Structure 1
Amino acid sequence: MAPALTPMKHLRLALFLCAFTCPATVHSEVASHWPQFRGPGGLGVGTGKPPVELSLEKNVKWKVEVPHGHSSPCIWGDRMVLTGLDAGKLTTFCLSKTDGRELWRAVAPTEKIEAAHRIGSPAAPTCCTDGERVFSYFGSYGVLAYDWNGQELWKKPLPLPVVEFGTSSSPIVVDGKVIIVADQDVGSYMIALDAKTGKEAWRVERGEFRRGFSTPFVWSHDGIQELVVAGSLWVRAYDLKDGKQRWSVSGMARVANASPIAADGMLLVSSWNVGGDEDDRVLMDPYDDFAAVHDANKDGLLTRDEFPTGKVRDRYSQIDADKDAHVTKAEYEAMRGMFAASVNQLFAIKPGGSGDCTHTHVVWQQNKHLPYVSSPVAANGRVFTMKSGGLASAYDAKSGSPLYQAERVDASGDYYASAVAADGRIYVISQRGMVVVLDATSDNLNVLSRTDLKAPVFASPAILDGVVYVRTDKHLYAFGE
């Protein structure tokens, strides 16, 4: 017979059980999670059976008002965190996944809010979590770590990025480190912070890279993990332990927006920007020839007014890397070289490379009908993209063979949110708020539904346990059966 429990042992047992069963805990080992931008592994693949149509009349489980921002939900257990700009303050706020109730809010101690694109937001990066801690990243401040009750654990101020469009790359946490990629027009770098303390674990200077908005990706293959960063002109992989470079592949646009994914044993990377298409090249004359004609005061520096109207002048703020309102010969030639070397394409890389493996490890590529910002998603052996204008394409993941290209889904406008997949379907939302659901099991375009949310959408949706979480400019929706 088992010995009787004393009152003290009863109390200890009750406290022990409560630690694992009380509703307040969010560290469930069996619950599904969406711990970073685009969910587990950054793949954009959700769980459960979400509704085929995100109807405002039929499938809204709950709807709550949220501060303006472009970050997506980061979900662990019954709690989710987002960021926003509210009354001039950058905040991290936590909601109940069950009903959307706000549980806590924390304000970042910013001295200055960074500039952002006219349709952008200084609250664009999505939070990430290791299950115990929540990590927020603002270009206006740096990194802040909280526990799931909103208690600040540590903070790491970082310099304001040198890019007038603002910060968009989201942090990820892996191997006990929070990874921040700060690609900008001057002084690009990547930093790894200890998730428990915020202390710097390693730092990689990326000075040859210019502005970038792509979120880093961890490529797991052959029993190893590689940290992959898509940047201007190059994709590079690094060792998570110390940040040492492992391999590089060229073939990127000047600016990286979309984030990489992996499928069928390969890394899939997409990039597009003005000047990277063969039939739409932006060509810049050598500096000496250009300055001889356009440097009006012959001071060896070029102001914006000294550039003729056109695509080059439109990108003056990018050419002027240090933002001092004068373009030097070095700045001009650097951008001329980037325009000449930029490539717009969707391409697949096989594992096992080292050094520059552009000519040995690129398996296939496609260079037409590419998305600008929206990241691709893979499901059922297929890779799906959505180009602005509502042009859908799908490819065989292994061979790159087109299944269909630039097929209209009758949902025009720009697409900034990245696609997500679940239960044999693809969900993608236009800036205008039109939700398009595609059949991911068909080799032909099959639009299953279209729903107008009647509000702008920039944040990528999350799908967890059959519920689709969509953030508009003012609200967060939970759609489910």
Structure 2
Amino acid sequence: MRFQFFPTLALMVSATASDWPMFRGVNGSGVADVTSVPTEFGPNKNVVWKTTLPFGHSSPVITSDLIFLTGAEGGERVDAGRGDKVIDKGGKLFTFCLDRKTGKILWRREVPRPRIERYQQVNSPASPSAATDGESAFVFFADYGLLSYGKDGNERWRTPLGPFNNVNGHGSSPIVYKDLVILVCDQDSGSYMIAVDKNTGQTRWRAERPEVTRSYVTPVVFEPKSGPAELIVPGAYQVISYRADSGEKLWWVRGFSWQPKSLPVIDGEMIYVHDWEGGGEAAEPTETLAWEEALGLYDKNKDGKITQDEVDPKMERDFYLLDLDSKGYLTRRDWDFYRARRAARNTLLAIKHGGRGDLSRSAVVWRMQKFLPNVSSPLIYQDVLYLVKDGGILSSIDPKTGKIFKQGRLTGALDTYYSSPVAAAGKIYLFSQTGIATVLKAGREWEILASNDMDEQVFATPAIVDNKIYVRTRGALYCFQNN
């Protein structure tokens, strides 16, 4: 989506051309309407300011004069006893407000932490980004819930949520739509999406999502030419649209993979959304026994359940991933989602908006199953769709047909990508986990203009506002501008 073509979106999220009001900017597009952004930058080049911050993966969110972020400080990571999962032993959670012009921390507010939930070791307890309507900040922490602060740092309200059943922790960020703050709370049991009043924190609606398990997605808003505004929400195994004002389920497209992590992008009447997960690369679905057959094979004591000591060694090792609500045994629901996971294929869907109900056969214009990112979201800029796959494989694609224009490696950045690409002033910005920032000349036949080393890991997605790019590394927030 090109920002200048959708002026209504700025009103929709209470943003102006000088704002970056949610994760990845206006409606998650990743596109900024500016004229000049530095091509070369780093810890010692084109630095306007640098502010040291505690650990956290949340991305900067910006109003006309302030920047909001979250972070975790103190404590110690310890093994959670489940594969690569960890849990904090102590530590505090904070919301930060910085002066946009100087980078000075204006205030920091400690967040209640009544519990400490486990998370995947490359995640953090402060991964969801804030959202803002220009006057207030809205933040979410899985260890507490939603909170809101005024510009002055005074707490406006708090809404406890959880506890959550998400083995990898959380990554979904809140968004603001009119007078609502909306948050996806997908998990392995009891998934839902909630909308609270932005002025009081009181629940306005709640949409249950029993058809999906865990995800780490942030919704975007689709404004059709006629009809109500919609929330486009990827989920395990399907993409679903809801009325933004009521949470009513409107339509869905099946054929998705599981535990999606990226947000959709919108271009006119088209919606682009993707999901990748290990094991989903095969062209044909993996056959898995039906529940009745699985009982016959594994249920040794014939009690209608499958316990950990009844399965084969591989399933025994990953049993906690199958036992979705940690009962100690598998039920039909657990097994059916296991079958769905094994049958799911990685895919990028190009969905044309229009219709109600199951649109799986009618709304998909094209799909792609290869060269897909794991975490990083797609980007549409100047009529080209961009994808960056782990390993530094960049593809430029025709958004109308799915045809690949160009594909190549990002020299010097053959790495993992958690940060999503952003674009401005005819350039594309991509940040690898090890902190290599590749700057491209945008276009079908994209070209590498520069490769910049941040000297620290980067998980957050940068923000571009007023000819400046704001980059969060593992230990700091930088503001860069052409000198």
TM-score w.r.t. length of structure 2: 0.88
Is 1:50 the counterpart of 2:37? The answer is: yes
What is the deviation of 1:155?
0.7
Contact 1:275/1:282 (8 A) holds in 2: no
What is the deviation of 1:438?
1.7
Query: For the structure 1 residues 295 and 405, does the alpha-carbon distance in structure 2 shift closer, same or farther, using more than 3 Å as the test?
Result: farther
Q: Distance in 2 between matches of 1:392 and 1:307?
A: 41
Letter in 2 for 1:229: V
Structure 2 match to 1:394: 396
Structure 1 match to 2:185: 182
Contact 1:369/1:405 (8 A) holds in 2: no
Moved more, 186-195 or 243-252: 243-252
Give runs of aligned pairs for residues 152-171 of structure 1, distance below 5 A: 152-171=155-174
Structure 2 match to 1:15: none
Query: For the structure 1 residues 29 and 365, does the alpha-carbon distance in structure 2 shift closer, same or farther, using more than 3 Å as the test?
Result: closer
Give runs of aligned pairs for residues 276-355 of structure 1, distance below 5 A: 276-279=280-283, 281-290=285-294, 292-294=296-298, 300-304=304-308, 306-308=310-312, 310=314, 315-340=318-343, 342-355=344-357
Structure 1 match to 2:64: 77
Contact 1:272/1:370 (8 A) holds in 2: yes
Structure 1 match to 2:237: 233
- Percent identical among aligned pairs is 40
Letter in 1 for 2:139: S
Contact 1:407/1:445 (8 A) holds in 2: no
Query: For the structure 1 residues 348 and 330, does the alpha-carbon distance in structure 2 shift closer, same or farther, using more than 3 Å as the test?
Result: closer
Structure 2 match to 1:41: 27
Structure 2 match to 1:248: 252
Structure 2 match to 1:461: 462
Structure 2 match to 1:476: 477
Contact 1:235/1:252 (8 A) holds in 2: yes
What is the deviation of 1:318?
2.7
What is the deviation of 1:193?
0.3
Q: Distance in 1 between matches of 2:26 and 2:336?
A: 41
Q: Distance in 2 between matches of 1:38 and 1:239?
A: 22
Q: Distance in 1 between matches of 2:97 and 2:209?
A: 34
Is 1:89 the counterpart of 2:111? The answer is: no
CA displacement, residues 75-102 of structure 1 (integer Å, 9 cap, x when unaligned): 1011101001112111101011112111
Q: Distance in 2 between matches of 1:67 and 1:416?
A: 18
Contact 1:264/1:381 (8 A) holds in 2: no
Moved more, 208-217 or 113-122: 113-122
Contact 1:137/1:143 (8 A) holds in 2: yes
Contact 2:72/2:94 (8 A) holds in 1: yes
Alignment RMSD, CA only?
A: 2.1
Structure 1 match to 2:381: 379
Query: For the structure 1 residues 189 and 382, does the alpha-carbon distance in structure 2 shift closer, same or farther, using more than 3 Å as the test?
Result: same
Query: For the structure 1 residues 194 and 58, does the alpha-carbon distance in structure 2 shift closer, same or farther, using more than 3 Å as the test?
Result: same
TM-score w.r.t. length of structure 1: 0.89
Contact 2:283/2:345 (8 A) holds in 1: no
Q: Distance in 2 between matches of 1:221 and 1:447?
A: 36
Q: Distance in 1 between matches of 2:162 and 2:373?
A: 31
What is the deviation of 1:315?
4.6
What is the deviation of 1:355?
1.1
What is the deviation of 1:302?
4.0
Moved more, 378-387 or 53-62: 53-62
Structure 2 match to 1:60: 47
What is the deviation of 1:207?
1.3
Give runs of aligned pairs for residues 183-262 of structure 1, distance below 5 A: 183-222=186-225, 224-262=228-266
SS at match of 1:156: strand
Is 1:123 the counterpart of 2:110? The answer is: no
What is the deviation of 1:351?
1.8
Q: Distance in 2 between matches of 1:395 and 1:55?
A: 29
Q: Distance in 1 between matches of 2:424 and 2:15?
A: 21
CA displacement, residues 141-193 of structure 1 (integer Å, 9 cap, x when unaligned): 11101101110111110112111211110000102100011010000011110
Q: Distance in 1 between matches of 2:250 and 2:44?
A: 51
Aligned residue pairs, count: 451
Structure 1 match to 2:448: 447
What is the deviation of 1:30?
6.5
Letter in 1 for 2:136: R
Letter in 1 for 2:18: S
Contact 1:392/1:409 (8 A) holds in 2: no
Letter in 1 for 2:354: G
Contact 1:350/1:361 (8 A) holds in 2: yes
Q: Distance in 1 between matches of 2:222 and 2:414?
A: 33
Moved more, 395-404 or 290-299: 290-299
Letter in 1 for 2:132: T
Larger radius of gyration: 1
What is the deviation of 1:408?
4.6
Contact 1:41/1:217 (8 A) holds in 2: yes
Structure 1 match to 2:435: 433
